[in-house]
Amino acid sequence: MKTQAINGVPYLINEKGEVFLYSSVPPISLGHYTKETNTLKLHEGWEDSATDWVNHYRKGLKENTIIALQKAADLQKAT
């Protein structure tokens, strides 16, 4: 898969032209890109899939940030 920006937004596109949400694990299929006509056809319900992933990503980011800040505070107290 390669990363390509479509309208400034990064996506993963495989050799078949299938488009996946960038950094989603597992990859979330959003649609199909046709290089010859430079068109992106999105699957029905793609917005829900993308929103679910963004919410999941943000939750993980928040949890990891809280853990990192707590560790930093603990280290500061120890010194």
d(Cα 59, Cα 65) in Å, to the nearest integer? 10
Q: For the chain, which residues make up each domain, given as ranges?
A: 2-78
* DSSP secondary structure letter of residue 71: H
Question: What is the per-residue pLDDT across 47-74, written as a single tens digit (0 to 9) for each?
Answer: 998 898 889 889 999 999 999 999 999 9
Q: Give me the pLDDT at residue 13, please.
A: 92
The pLDDT of 4-17, averaged and rounded, is 86
User: What is the model's pLDDT at position 9?
Assistant: 78
Residue 49 amino acid letter: S
Q: Could you tell me which residues come within 8 angstroms of residue 71 by beta carbon, excluding any fewer than 6 positions away?
A: none
pLDDT over threshold 90, residue 35:
no
